[in-house]
Amino acid sequence: MNDELILQHGLTLNEFQIIKDYLKRDLTMEELGIFSAMWNEHCCYKTSKKWLKKLPTNNDVVIQGPGENAGIIDLEDNDGVAFKIESHNHPSYIEPFNGSATGVGGILRDIFTMGARPIATLDSIRFGEINTDKTKYLLNGVVHGIGHYGNCIGIPNIGGESEFDSTYDFNNLVNAMAIGHVKKDAIFYSKPKTIGGLIVYIGSKTGKDGIHGASMASDVFSENDEDDKRPSVQVGDPFMEKLLMEGCLELMSSGLIESMQDMGAAGITSSSVEMASKGNVGVLIDLDKIPLRQPLSPYEILLSESQERMLAVIEKDNDTKVREILKKWQIDYEVIGEITDSKNVVFTSKNKQVVNLPVNIIVDDAPEYDREFYLPRKRNKKDFDCTHLNLEKMINNLFDNLNYLDKSWIYNQYDSTVMGDTVKEPGQSTGIIKLHDSQKVIGATTDCNPLYIRINPELGMIYTVVEAYRNLISSNIKPIAITNNLNFASPLDPNIMGEIVLSINGLKKSASKLNTPIVSGNVSLYNQTNDLPINPTPVIGMVGSNLNINKIISNKFQNDGDIIVSIGESLGYLNSPYFLKDQKITREINSFNELEDIDLENEILTANSIMYLADNKLIQSCNDVFRGGIFMSLIKMIEKDYGFTVELPNKFDLFCEYRAGYIITVKEDELSKVCNYLSKNNVSHSNIGLVSNETIKINSKVFDYFEIKGKYLDNFEKIIN
């Protein structure tokens, strides 16, 4: 094998030499393909593994942490919740519709592979500046793909986030999250147990789509790569996924399956290798028995990432019963091999071995790098002149910015109420779904603050976790656990590697303090094109619950005349990066001041106080305060024809970011009780106004209520069109 061929497969020459020295022989082309698939960043996390090991992953409610297809937490009474987030960034840039659609399909398979029925999805999507045809094409394709797949399979999308920034001009991000409900005594794992057990193929036939998809997702791009990379993007079929899901769930509930693994990134290669590794066994698979859509070579079969496929292990006596159930669901099924005690992965074709590799070299001996990283430089304190900003100017700057506008154009393309258990739909601080025939609800949110993380990766990550935490608290949902999707540019740049290391450290600190362990996740590196890196974008998916649906509080105004109380303290405009950027004071990353330290004890104290008030029916509505400040929180709380009248001594505090920031509304006759409780618990708060019908009045200045409301609701669609 020549050096060019090795490098084309995403391996370094040193990595190839390590493999060759271990095996003491040359590799077959198929074996080279296996290492290409399994030793890339997307599958073995060779750059991030060292740092991910430091994350907190367990507490008394975690049933399953990282290492399985999804994490699972305990919701009492035999109820468990499985969830995970994953990226489909590179495929969604090349083929936005298919890339985003198969991102949804893949994460759903991770959920039902655990024996959990998917009950909700969320997403986190980011695009470049909207003034280019390319961004509009990507936006329309991604939103259409997410909506198409989720709507066809019939699982509600209950929330998410979107952001537009020039850093994503050539690297849009698509992170898909899914949540499922499972009975704790019916959780399913991928570890096989029976030597001689049959390895069976379940699902769609294998084709050429997605070959080298995993290694493609572990490489940087140039604009000229798009046509060459397009065949690496998978094509999904949500109707087949629905049949596959129902068939697999029936097989698992009937006890006919011993273990199961999704054929995701790297297809049958990764699923069989991971299964063998977890069970400390070997596998023997005949590639000639794989159901095919078209003639494929053994190499192509091994690396295909065709969608809607599962690998399972069954006992020989169950073959006929499994076949009958899958025939009912019109699903392809074939016995393709067996579990062995060899601890080797063996693939044959035409009665010849094309692969014979020890499992440990593929998995246990995969590279783990300790890459060089730089720490950010100390920032000098800067002053900024904001005296030219008046209320009208600050409001207009927000309403001319896609990031502050109502995103219903996006989420209206998703079915958010199918299955009939959605409590809160997209567009609010938290998406909430009810466990069917139960009083229990699950809340979930996705969040990231790339600008904060770019300024200070460790502190910025803590702010991101805290924002997700506040989102859940705003609905009286107790935060429980985290799934993460760490999106970064090339780790070969020590500055980017520094962002990765420090962000993970910030995640560790905040998750430990808030008692929200990380139970699943994904790493997506090399998100840069033409040497232009994205901002660091480690997305947090946080999940929580309330065991009593009647204790959930609204994020919208409820009554005319309710008192508006702000909680927390303004960071001030000098220390509010989004204020400075979005009010066009500065965009230069080097000119922002250092982030203010965040007091996690104060965040917990404030959150506990809000949940106590909510449990005791003393809060009418609540919303968190962060980007866009109190003003945007109030705008998002507008419901029916309710508006607000507020007075703040410092006009900038209306738009700045906040520490432990929330807005609550309280009935007038309960205000003293609420304020006394907050004072007793040392929670900073201030009575700033009241809910008023068809009114927006700020510091005695009256604004046109319907004009302001119309700009917030309508400007997104106007701008993108």
One-letter amino acid for residue 415 of the chain: D
E strand intervals along 448-585: 478-487, 518-524, 528-529, 532-533, 537-546, 563-570
CA 95 to chain centre: 20
DSSP annotation of 204: S
Strands 642-646 and 696-698, how do they pair? Answer: parallel
Structure tokens at 282: 């070997």
Q: How many CA atoms lie within 13 A of 202 on its CB side?
A: 33
The Cα–Cα gap between 85 and 108 comes to 10
Structure tokens at 305: 């990432």
Task: Kindly name the residue from 88, 90, 212, 685 that is annotated as catalytic.
Answer: 88
Structure tokens at 449: 């603050």
CA distances from 478 to 60, 75, 233, 430, 469 (A): 15, 11, 38, 12, 9
The residues near 576 (Cβ < 8 Å, ≥ 6 apart) are: 570, 629, 655, 656, 657
Coil/strand/helix, residue 442: strand
The Cα–Cα gap between 688 and 55 comes to 40
Strands 642-646 and 563-570, how do they pair? Answer: unpaired
* Known active-site residue 388: no
In 3D space, the residue among 429, 473, 423, 459 whose CA is nearest the CA of residue 447 turns out to be 429
Structure tokens at 85: 């987030």
Rg over CA atoms, the chain: 26
The Cα–Cα gap between 33 and 403 comes to 42
Task: Kindly name the residue from 42, 148, 181, 212 that is annotated as catalytic.
Answer: 42
> Over the range 318-345, which residues count as b (16 or more CB within 10 Å of their CB) and which as e?
beeebbebbeebebbbbbbbbbbebebb
The residues near 551 (Cβ < 8 Å, ≥ 6 apart) are: 476, 614, 615
CA distances from 501 to 352, 408, 486, 613 (A): 45, 36, 11, 38
DSSP annotation of 488: -
Sign of CA dihedral 639, 437, 158, 473: positive
CA distances from 357 to 27, 31, 43, 64 (A): 10, 8, 17, 29
Coil/strand/helix, residue 120: strand
CB 637 within 8 A of CB 557: yes
* Known active-site residue 9: no
Q: Residues with catalytic annotation? A: 42, 88
